[in-house]
């Protein structure tokens, strides 16, 4: 059973970010549900979608001159570094660490979302939602 499940309380009100977050929660659930044989592949998929989401979000923060872009982006870098370090240790046989980190992510994610991501979403709404087809597209994802 997943430690974290998607609900409206995890929405920041920016469609594309919410879609990315929904996918993150689903992938994290797959990691938690994976047996030992499938665990590392599920973890790698989680890393890949997380890195892609962070790249989009980091670019939007730069492109829209979000005041808190530096600390938000730094947290992204730190999380990715940890995810990749855990993948390395998991590949060396420490699957318990992968499972522990999945539980830690389920705790970290809502905190990050309700703090940093919520502030960024407010910023995006104040300038126009980049995922809105009526927006000028200046910071739409590539």
Q: What is the pLDDT of residue 140?
A: 41
Token pair listed for 102: 């999945």
pTM (predicted TM-score): 0.84
Residue 1, pLDDT score: 54
- Residue-level pLDDT, tens digit, the chain, 142 residues: 568 777 777 878 888 888 889 999 999 999 999 999 999 999 999 999 999 999 999 999 999 999 999 999 999 999 999 999 999 999 999 999 999 999 999 999 999 989 999 999 999 888 875 554 334 444 444 3
Gap between the Cα atoms of 40 and 16, Å rounded: 27
- Residue environment code for 95-127, b if the CB has 16+ CB neighbours within 10 A, otherwise e: bebbbebbeebbeebeebbeebbeebbebbeee
Domains, the chain, with CATH or none:
13-127 (1.20.120.50)
What pLDDT shows up at residue 142? Answer: 37
CA-closest candidate to residue 125, choices 110, 141, 139, 142: 139
Distance CA 57, CA 76 (A): 9
């Amino acid at each position: 059973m997943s430690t974290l499940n998607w609900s409206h309380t995890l929405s920041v009100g920016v469609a594309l970010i919410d879609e990315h977050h929904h996918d993150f929660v689903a992938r994290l659930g797959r990691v938690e549900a994976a047996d030992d044989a499938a665990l590392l592949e599920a973890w790698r998929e989680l890393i890949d979608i997380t890195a892609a989401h962070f790249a989009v979000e980091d670019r939007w923060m730069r492109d829209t001159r979000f005041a808190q872009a530096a600390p938000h982006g730094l947290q992204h870098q730190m999380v990715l570094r940890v995810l990749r370090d855990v993948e390395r240790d998991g590949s060396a046989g420490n699957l318990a660490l992968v499972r522990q980190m999945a539980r830690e992510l389920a705790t970290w994610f809502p905190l990050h979302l309700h703090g940093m991501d919520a502030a960024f979403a407010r910023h995006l709404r104040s300038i126009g939602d980049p995922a809105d087809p009526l927006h000028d597209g200046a910071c739409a994802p590539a």
